Amino acid sequence: MTAQQFVSPNEIRSRFSLAMSEMYQKEVPLYGELLALVAETNRQVLSSNSELAHQLQITGEIERLAMERHGAIRVGTAEELTTLRRLFNVMGMSPVGYYDLAPAGVPVHSTAFRAVHEQDLQASPFRVFTSLLRLELIEQPELRALAQRLLERRHIFTSRALALIEQHENQGGLTAGQADEFVEQALETFRWHSQATVSAAEYQQLHDQHRLIADVVAFKGPHINHLTPRTLDIDAAQSTMPQRGITPKAVIEGPPRRRCPILLRQTSFKALVEQVAFVESDGASVMGQHTARFGEIEQRGVALTPEGRALYDRLLQATNDALQATPSEGNAARYYQLLQANFQSFPDDYPALREQRLAWFRYFPTELGLAAKDRLDESWTLERLIAEDYIRFQPLVYEDFLPVSAAGIFQSNLGDNAQAHYNATSSRGVFEQALGTKVVDELALYRQTQQRSLQACAQALGLGAL
Ligand code: OOG
Ligand code: NI
């Protein structure tokens, strides 16, 4: 079998992402409505903001915009997480970054599975925010034991999916027929099951400990709990949600609205109350409700360097300190005011962000630069090439997540009584052990992408290095 006969991981990921979206639209029709709203908003932004349209054309983001989405799942054991890593690997997705949500009162830690190279992200930017429940944070020993028992006896992957993962590992890829089957089989893991695996009383116990625990433990598998398309104007999308019968959460997570968007802004619609059936010990079925699945939208901006990120974290913290409360419906206006005021000290134009090394960029040679190629030599610095308009730069889009925002998204879908406090220390090592590998450092990825674009410029302009 030669590599040519295998379907590329990018192709499998792109097909899987589409299949997942189609499944979720059927499961949660409101998500389809959200997609329509985002498509309409993006059309309007692109037709009215030619500068942004141009920028997205140069970086190629315009081509991936319609396929851009992330999803989220939650699993319960190391074995489930390890197997998920192998499943995502078939689609060219690696675990990037570590997110500890315990300090924010959510008993999980997480990573994001995604493609790591800009060319692969361009082919399909699909990502999955994947959380591992921290059973050790369940206080009552009997409840912890119940959760463990339930998790140990479930099988979240079909046997065909497991066989195809192994085949991929052994032969180095999947053929066309195998890839089709893989997409179909892998999807089963993420499907919603309205039949719970516990009795109504057990569900209640798990739920009372933390709603998230019931969501992870009481069902057959880690149903996809939301999907998130990328919007170019999250404020516009948020404000038109109610016109389409969608109720958004109180505040948009992340940085304030800016001319040059940074990192990631997110908002979601409230999780749906859904009918589920519990199984009693005598086999009888009892109807009940479960609330977990929702829809989300996000606006992505430029990725920040460690310095930029430190500044972001500091300003967000200052905002929350000044608010002295959790952002909510009641204090939303004041929260936004404080956020805007605090972020005044974050430069809001790309040249300043670049000069102060707060953000990552990609560099592109201009027609002018290519025409001047023969006159250039090693004495030309990057700054001079930029000053002469021989090289231009574009913001490198943030591909990851934000722990404070993620906690806000979790909380808004867990109800008001879910504010828990955990003193557990961050345990990246424990997470990596469960995952079976170290997570990739996202900052190294941005640095490499920026560096590759400089190398490509140097080559195009006949220079040694930049
Ligand atoms: C994940 C919430 C985090 C995001 O976009 O930050 C998330 C979850 O609810 O399982 O998806
Ligand atoms: Ni999300």
Looking at the structure, do residues 176 and 150 belong to the same domain, yes or no?
A: yes
In a domain, residue 325? The reply is yes
Asked if residue 405 has its Cβ within 6 Å of ligand 1, the reply is yes
CB-count exposure of residue 462 (10 Å: 0-12, 13-18, 19+): exposed
Cβ atoms of 237 and 41 within 8 Å: the answer is yes
Where among 284, 316, 348 does a domain terminate?
348
In a domain, residue 355? The reply is no
**Nearest-ligand number for the alpha carbon of 410:** 1
3-state SS assignment for residue 177: helix
DSSP 39-84: HHHHHHHHHH-HHHHHHHHHHSHHHHGGG-EEEEEEE-SHHHHHHH
Cβ atoms of 163 and 181 within 8 Å: the answer is no
Its domain, for residue 459, covers 361-395+442-466
CA 71 to ligand 1: nearest atom: 11
CA of residue 144 to ligand 2 center, whole Å: 27
Cα separation, 88 vs 127, in Å, equals 10
Question: What CATH number corresponds to the domain at position 155?
Answer: 3.10.180.80
306-336 in b/e form (b: 16+ CB < 10 A) is: eebbebbeebbebbbeebeebbeeebeeebb
In a domain, residue 153? The reply is yes
Please list, in sequence order, all residues whose beta carbon lies within 8 angstroms of the beta carbon of residue 454, skipping any fewer than 6 positions away.
363, 382, 466
Please list, in sequence order, all residues whose beta carbon lies within 8 angstroms of the beta carbon of residue 265, skipping any fewer than 6 positions away.
234, 252, 253, 254, 255, 257, 298, 299, 301
Looking at the structure, do residues 41 and 71 belong to the same domain, yes or no?
A: yes
Cβ atoms of 112 and 96 within 8 Å: the answer is yes
CA of residue 322 to ligand 2 center, whole Å: 26
In a domain, residue 256? The reply is yes
- Per the structure block, which two tokens stand in for 241? 């949600």
Looking at the structure, do residues 425 and 447 belong to the same domain, yes or no?
A: no
Cα separation, 112 vs 93, in Å, equals 9
Asked if residue 21 has its Cβ within 6 Å of ligand 1, the reply is no
Asked if residue 266 has its Cβ within 6 Å of ligand 1, the reply is yes
Looking at the structure, do residues 183 and 237 belong to the same domain, yes or no?
A: yes
Cβ atoms of 185 and 161 within 8 Å: the answer is yes
Per-residue pLDDT of the chain (466 residues; tens, 9 = 90+): 566 699 999 999 999 999 999 999 999 999 999 999 999 999 999 999 999 999 999 999 999 998 889 999 999 999 999 999 999 999 999 999 999 998 888 899 999 999 999 999 999 999 999 999 999 888 889 999 999 999 999 999 999 999 999 999 999 999 999 999 999 999 999 999 999 999 999 999 999 988 899 999 999 999 999 999 999 999 999 999 999 889 898 899 999 999 999 999 999 988 889 999 999 999 999 999 999 899 999 999 999 999 999 999 999 999 999 999 888 889 999 999 999 999 999 999 999 999 999 999 999 999 999 999 999 999 999 999 999 999 999 999 999 999 999 988 888 777 654 556 776 667 899 999 999 999 999 999 999 999 999 999 999 999 988 8
CA of residue 292 to ligand 2 center, whole Å: 13
Asked if residue 129 has its Cβ within 6 Å of ligand 1, the reply is yes
Q: Number of structural domains, the chain?
A: 3
3-state SS assignment for residue 389: coil
Looking at the structure, do residues 56 and 203 belong to the same domain, yes or no?
A: yes
Closest CA to 390 of 298, 291, 458, 304: 458
3-state SS assignment for residue 412: helix
Cross-strand partners of 267: 297
Cα separation, 110 vs 127, in Å, equals 13
CA 410 to ligand 1: nearest atom: 9
Cβ atoms of 80 and 156 within 8 Å: the answer is yes
**Nearest-ligand number for the alpha carbon of 106:** 1
Looking at the structure, do residues 76 and 34 belong to the same domain, yes or no?
A: yes
In a domain, residue 454? The reply is yes
Looking at the structure, do residues 214 and 182 belong to the same domain, yes or no?
A: yes
CA of residue 225 to ligand 2 center, whole Å: 9
DSSP summary character for residue 108 = E
- Residue 52 CA, chain-centre distance (Å), reads 22
Cα separation, 329 vs 314, in Å, equals 24
What pLDDT, on the 0 to 100 scale, is given for residue 395?
A: 97
Looking at the structure, do residues 376 and 266 belong to the same domain, yes or no?
A: no
Total residue count of the chain as it appears in this document: 466
Asked if residue 463 has its Cβ within 6 Å of ligand 1, the reply is no
CA 129 to ligand 1: nearest atom: 11
Looking at the structure, do residues 147 and 15 belong to the same domain, yes or no?
A: yes
- Per the structure block, which two tokens stand in for 34? 């959200």
CA of residue 131 to ligand 2 center, whole Å: 11
CA of residue 127 to ligand 2 center, whole Å: 10
Looking at the structure, do residues 407 and 323 belong to the same domain, yes or no?
A: no
Q: What is the pTM of this model?
A: 0.96
What pLDDT, on the 0 to 100 scale, is given for residue 105?
A: 84
Asked if residue 224 has its Cβ within 6 Å of ligand 1, the reply is no
What pLDDT, on the 0 to 100 scale, is given for residue 136?
A: 87
Looking at the structure, do residues 366 and 224 belong to the same domain, yes or no?
A: no
**Alpha carbon separation from 57 to 66, 229, 428, 440 (Å, rounded):** 13, 19, 38, 28
In a domain, residue 356? The reply is no
In a domain, residue 216? The reply is yes
How many CB atoms neighbour CB 179 within 10 A? Answer: 23
Cα separation, 382 vs 393, in Å, equals 11
Asked if residue 409 has its Cβ within 6 Å of ligand 1, the reply is yes
Asked if residue 131 has its Cβ within 6 Å of ligand 1, the reply is yes
Asked if residue 401 has its Cβ within 6 Å of ligand 1, the reply is yes
Cross-strand partners of 129: 72, 112
In a domain, residue 418? The reply is yes
CA 409 to ligand 1: nearest atom: 2
**Nearest-ligand number for the alpha carbon of 265:** 1
Cβ atoms of 249 and 268 within 8 Å: the answer is yes
Cα separation, 266 vs 264, in Å, equals 7
Cα separation, 368 vs 390, in Å, equals 6
Looking at the structure, do residues 184 and 274 belong to the same domain, yes or no?
A: yes
Asked if residue 42 has its Cβ within 6 Å of ligand 1, the reply is no
Cα separation, 368 vs 185, in Å, equals 51
**Nearest-ligand number for the alpha carbon of 296:** 2
3-state SS assignment for residue 17: helix
**Alpha carbon separation from 402 to 131, 263, 309, 408 (Å, rounded):** 14, 8, 10, 10
- Per the structure block, which two tokens stand in for 321? 């300190």
To test the pocket of ligand 1, the residue of 98, 129, 132, 225 to mutate (highest count of ligand atoms within 8 Å of its CB) is 129
Closest CA to 263 of 195, 331, 320, 312: 312
Residue of minimum CA distance from atom 11 in ligand 1: 72
